Structure 1
Amino acid sequence: MRTLMCILLSAMSLSLLAQSYSGDTWKDVSKKGEGSVSIAYVETPSFVYLDDAGKLTGICVDIMNDFVTWLKDAKKVELTTNFVGDGSSFRGMYDKVKTSKGGVFGLGNITITNERKKEVKFSQPFITNFAILITQSQVPTLNKLEDMPKSFADLTAYTAKGTLNEKRVMELKKQYFPEMKVAYTTTSQETLEKLFADPKGYAYLDLAFYLEAVKMKKNIKRHPVADRAAEQFGFIMPLSSDWSQVLDEFLKANGGYSNSTRYKTILVKHLGEAGMKLMQSSN
């Protein structure tokens, strides 16, 4: 029995290791002057996405590329980045980074929370998240959250399990709409697709998803009374990572990366002028 238990525990440990990533530590890279890191990601409009040529791009990708360039110039270090995973799931990306070792980073719409700080290391924030409540455009505009039980009586809330937007939906349910119908999805992208397909659906989604839908000329509406702009996005690393100090040094250098012309150029490139203004209005 004891032997069987040991075998099972070993199998579980191997399974856990197989689900994580690895990369060189900053200590080793700074000594050798070169090394490689793994970058996990969740596909998010504007932040991490495939361009028309099938190449991974976005706000997060551009910032990480600038970090690599800065390391070369400021630290005389040649860093190779390897993108890992398929980008399909926030929870999948987050959990794998959490169990990884060494130079591993997670990119996407990752909100910094005290709860998550117990599980992963966060970089300095690089943008403030703007979450909005969306429906199809024929749904009457919600003027007060207290009106939800009446105005949204026949509607269904869609939300991705394990995201902060799920928490937002649950807060609305608890505070304003106890009878709210909730349907779960696996990703924010799936939530958006459900919204496109269901005239009686609504969802909390990050601004980038809304801007993507507007760009696609989809039949959607924003309900400003429910806007939320209290959280910030950051890059994540395993708790044992020694990369956070040098990444933060980069983000703080020369008066702060988010104050630079380069940063504003990246926001306009991936969000457009209107999206950049909305994002910056939430700071």
Structure 2
Amino acid sequence: MKLFKLPILYSFIVLLCFSGIAQTTSFSDAKQKGSATLEYFYVETPGFIENSGGGQKGICADILTGFESWVKSQYGITLNTKYVPTPKESFPTFMNKVKSGGPGVIGVGGVTITEARKKSYSFSYPYINNISILATNSSVPTISNPSEISSAFANMTALSVKGTTNEKALLELKKKYFPNMKIEYLSSNMYVSKKIAEDPKYFSIVDLGYFLASLKEYRSIKRQPAMDEANETFGFVMPKGSDWEPILSKYLKEVYLNSPQHRKSIATHLGPSALKLLDSYAN
């Protein structure tokens, strides 16, 4: 009798475990049901997606709030959404969770769209241009030309996060200008700017949002203008083949980017200086 009960008990536990896992919804199923469950996997990115008083704020949060209302008015679909944080703000963990996510998973953060990533993920239409900034402690002298970096930063160490486009940019910088560059890796971009602001021995290439947030918080970090790069775009990332991609892209391209909310959101979350800097590269 005990042997008979054991498999039943095991089956019940397995069923209970799986019933606790949220089932997200594809767009095709959502059209039939009139409702959908979406999960927003996110990695905190200053100005783009941040925790705030039990909720989320930032450019991405503004976009998704507008998207939810638009999907309701355009397709009659009610979206039930949940933000899912990334353990330890690890970017590689975040990307892996999105890749293996369900049909209604959308990855949220300062995620650069690259041709290499497109092989494994689906990306939305870009919602903002990114400027990669060479950042140092404010006590480090300003260089006027990239060729000066090997001598000016000879006793400094670069900081980066594995698998990011900023790591790739640092490796290219090392190859072209600074063959003796030493790189120290951290688990999250959140820690890179903080370490630079605290210690003049470190430098890195950081995204615009991280730089502006760090400048506001620490005042001991500065931009090296000779190394600015404005050849990247940010987008929302989804599992490969997600049928939410064309829907989110349609909203971004046809609605959000043509609305006053676009520039207002940038100014609110990144500051007016971000608008000026982005505009200077757009012209």
Normalised TM-score (structure 2): 0.88
What does residue 63 of structure 1 align with? 63
Corresponding position of 2:75: 75
Looking at structure 2, the residues matched to 136 and 250 of structure 1 have their Cα atoms a distance apart, in angstroms, of: 40
Question: Which residue in the other structure is 2:236 paired with?
Answer: 235
Q: Does 1:271 align with 2:270?
A: yes
State the identity as a percent.
39
Name the SS of the counterpart of 2:41 in structure 1: strand
Alignment match, 2:11: none
Q: Mapping of 1:256-267 within 5 angstroms?
A: 256-267=255-266
* Deviation (angstroms), 1:22: 4.9
Amino acid at match of 2:178: F
Amino acid at match of 1:271: L
The worse-fitting range, judged by mean Cα deviation, of 21-30 and 138-147 is 21-30
- The letter for the 1-side match of 2:181 is M
User: Greater shift after overlay, 208-217 or 64-73?
Assistant: 208-217
Per-residue deviation, 1:70: 0.2
Residue 55 of structure 1 deviates from its aligned partner by 2.1
Q: Any conservation in 1 of the 2:138–2:222 contact (CA below 8 Å)? A: yes
One-letter amino acid matched to 1:37: L
- DSSP 3-state at the match of 1:102: coil
Helix, strand or coil: the match of 1:282?
helix
Q: Deviations over 1:8-44 (max 9, x none)?
A: xxxxxxxxx9xx9851010111111111111101100
For the pair shown, the structure with the greater C-alpha radius of gyration is 2
Structure 1 unaligned spans of 5+:
1-16
Q: Deviations over 1:153-207 (max 9, x none)?
A: 1111111111100011101100000001111111111111221232111111011
TM-score (normalizing by structure 1): 0.88
CA distance in 2, matches of 1:48, 1:157: 25
| Offset of residue 121 of structure 1 | 0.2
Per-residue deviation, residues 230-265 of structure 1 (Å, max 9, x unmatched): 010000111131111211221222xx5213101111
DSSP-derived class of the 1:199 partner: coil
Counterpart amino acid of residue 101 in structure 1: G
1:1-40 pair list within 5 angstroms? 22-40=23-41
Q: Supply the RMSD in Å over aligned alpha carbons.
A: 1.7
**2: distance between equivalents of 1:34 and 1:84?**
20
Counterpart of 2:210 in 1: which secondary structure?
Answer: helix
Contact 2:63 2:256 in 1 (8 A): no
The 5 Å alignment of 1:18-167 reads 22-51=23-52, 53-86=53-86, 88-167=89-168
Length, aligned pairs only? 262
What runs of 5+ residues in structure 2 fail to find an aligned partner?
A: 1-17
Are 1:218 and 2:184 matched, yes or no? no
Shift in alpha-carbon separation, 1:22–1:157, aligned structure 2, 3 A? farther
Measured in 2, the distance between the counterparts of 1:72 and 1:281 equals: 36
- C-alpha distance in 2, partners of 1:129/1:118? 21
SS at match of 1:231: strand
User: How much has 1:111 moved relative to structure 2?
Assistant: 0.5
CA distance 1:281–1:193, shift in 2 (3 Å): same
Q: State the secondary structure of the residue aligned to 1:172.
A: helix
Deviations 1:208-230 (A, max 9, x none): 11111221142111100100110
Amino acid at match of 2:40: I
Q: Give the Cα–Cα distance (whole angstroms) in 2 for the partners of residues 92 and 37 of structure 1.
A: 19
In 1: Cα distance, 2:193 partner to 2:179 partner? 23
Distance 1:220 1:92 in 2: 28
